[in-house]
Amino acid sequence: VAVAVEPDGPTEPVDQPGGHLAVRRARSRIAARRSTGEPVEVTYRPDGRPEIAGGRTLSVAHGARLTLAVTATGALGCDVETVLHRDDAVWDGLLGEHAGLARLVAADTGEDADTAATRVWTALECVQKSGGQPGGPLTLLPSPRPGWTVFGAGELRVAAFVTAVRGVDEPVVFAILTEGR
């Protein structure tokens, strides 16, 4: 698995056709090139998922004024989200049947409810990006590394961690899904 995290530059004008999408795709291309270490052309499937040639899988996420790109072979997904305060009822609505898992993560890690719920949210986003069912079973697995939370979705694994990012007031959760370990 190769990972690149690129800070987003100043906001470009998006008043041209496809402006916002064009900016995001340009940022995705830069991050994809960094994650592979070589020039790559990023193409997009009709559903918007990015692809690169060479038998590698690409996943890209935008958040916290960053672009995250991950490349590997096999199933892959990534997400980056700023931790935001939401009422319990809002989190319950967003996470659905996984709301209880967020409470388990909070108890396991000692984190506040918003951070734990954001970890679960990013894991679900990763599952969806990998082509899995976001509403499917997701379990909390033991993590050998402090600060990391590992989730299982069948044979898929999602590793999530929380960190500070310069220029972002709230904590940021990064999550990456791969096959197996």
* Counted domains in the chain: 2
SS3 call for 138: coil
- Is residue 34 located within the same domain as residue 66? yes
- Is residue 46 located within the same domain as residue 94? no
- Is residue 92 located within the same domain as residue 173? yes
Which domain, by its residues, includes 48? 2-73
Task: Return the closest-CA partner of residue 168 out of 80, 72, 43, 37.
Answer: 80
- Is residue 86 located within the same domain as residue 140? yes
Give the model's pLDDT for residue 132.
Answer: 84
Q: What is the pLDDT of residues 2-35, one digit of tens each?
A: 999 999 876 555 555 667 888 899 999 999 999 9
Task: Return the closest-CA partner of residue 174 out of 2, 10, 5.
Answer: 5
Residues of the chain with pLDDT below 70 are 10-18, 181
Give the model's pLDDT for residue 10.
Answer: 67
Q: Are 94 and 116 in contact (CB under 8 A)?
A: no
Give the model's pLDDT for residue 9.
Answer: 75
Q: What are phi and psi of 31, to 5 degrees?
A: -65, -40
Angle between helices 88-95 and 99-109 (to 10 degrees): 120
Q: Which of 57, 73, 89 is the last residue of a domain?
A: 73
- Is residue 65 located within the same domain as residue 93? no
